[in-house]
Amino acid sequence: MCMPPVKVYSTKACPYCRLVKAFLEKHGIEYKDIDVGADKEAAREMVRISGQYSVPVTVADEQIIVGFDTARLIALFGTKQADETYDVLIAGAGPGGLTAAVYTARKLLKTIVVTENIGGQALESWAIENYMGYRMVSGEALMQKFEEQAKQLQIHVELDRIQNITKEGDEFVVKTASEQTFRALSLIICTGRKPKWLGLPEEPKYLGHGLSVCATCDAPLYREKDVAVVGGGNSAVTTAIELGSIARSVHLIVRSQCRADATYMKILENKGNITMHLGYEVTALQGNGYLSGITIKNRETGAEENIAVHGVFLEIGQRPNTDFLAGFLQTDANGEIPVDCNCHTSIDGVFAAGDVTTIKGKQIIIAAGEGAKAALEVHEYLVKRK
């Protein structure tokens, strides 16, 4: 079948852009890659075509796909997988999921990884300074190393979104957004966390129209513009620092206290175009189709202030990505999966690792270690079954 010419509007550091291109390459689809971070005219063309200030945007004839939309990509370009049963299905390909996959593959277990992205939220870290073996490395570069190791073992990775899981006899049945079905004798859940939202009614309206939850992806589109970053942790402060290098001005909106490391705070203080609003919260988003400003309120005095900005980047934390487990697996009041010291969950044969679990430390190195533990437990579980 001859497919129409495909264009992918992307930025160099965008992990989701890389996933779109990897998906197209996997399915043998030729495409033209257009870097809108470097080409202002191409950026304007992308906005005109899609209405989006967010990448990736994929255009195929009359079809426009915004983001890494697995269901639409598979519907347009993909092929269904053959019905077969795997020893283990791993949900998620962040540090925990990829490590688990390497360990199960080395144990000669038939392994499939089903994931919306490769790298998880680690991809969005500008700089990682506490992972052993690296003085400093970006999240994208570190996850590329993880991915390369997994590829060497020829692990089957399916880019798709899991919708629900059931059990039929001895098999777990996993159904996806693109209506694929996968069967496995065991599961490892490593789906990590997803961004929290402000809870404002206007958020859906401005997502991709000035509101972003991925600075790594969208920051290049706001060169020499006025932006705001919301949050007070390491992610928010490092995002503000990086944006301070390309944007005209950056407003850092911190609800209570800054919790960032002293090293980052020192760098922040030396950035002349970053203004910190301590003790403020965002109460409204303003604009006419595209974001043009925000309203912030002093939490102590109640005084409100309007700030003109072209973009807002949310860095207010994450919540567990466990919605698809409703009615199948036990989660706690926070949505996290309770596990014992060996990654066992409430269901025999189902294991979990990384930031999606109740394990306290939400760190890349801990997630990787937990992924290895979960894989070894799966191997033992399957050996005992046989």
DSSP summary character for residue 222: G
CA–CA dist 117, 16 (Å, integer): 7
For residues 93 and 118, the answer to whether their CB atoms sit within 8 Å is: yes
Active site residue 14: no
> No. of H helices and E strands in the chain?
10, 23
Active site residue 69: no
Write down the catalytic residue from 14, 17, 190, 217: 217
- Is the preceding omega at residue 56 within 30 degrees of 0, hence cis? yes
CB atoms within 10 A of CB 364: 23
Write down the catalytic residue from 214, 226, 258, 355: 214
Q: Give every CB contact of residue 269 below 8 A, 6+ residues apart in sequence.
A: none
Which of 76, 77, 50 is closest to 64 using CA atoms?
50
Tell me the pairing of strands 304-308 and 162-168: unpaired
CA–CA dist 78, 321 (Å, integer): 25
Write down the catalytic residue from 69, 160, 218, 355: 218
Which of 171, 159, 149 is closest to 105 using CA atoms?
149
Active site residue 258: no
Q: What are phi and psi of 269, to 5 degrees?
A: -65, -25
The β-bridge partners of 66 are: 57
Locate tokens 């990897």: which residue? 22
Catalytic residue annotation: 214, 217-218
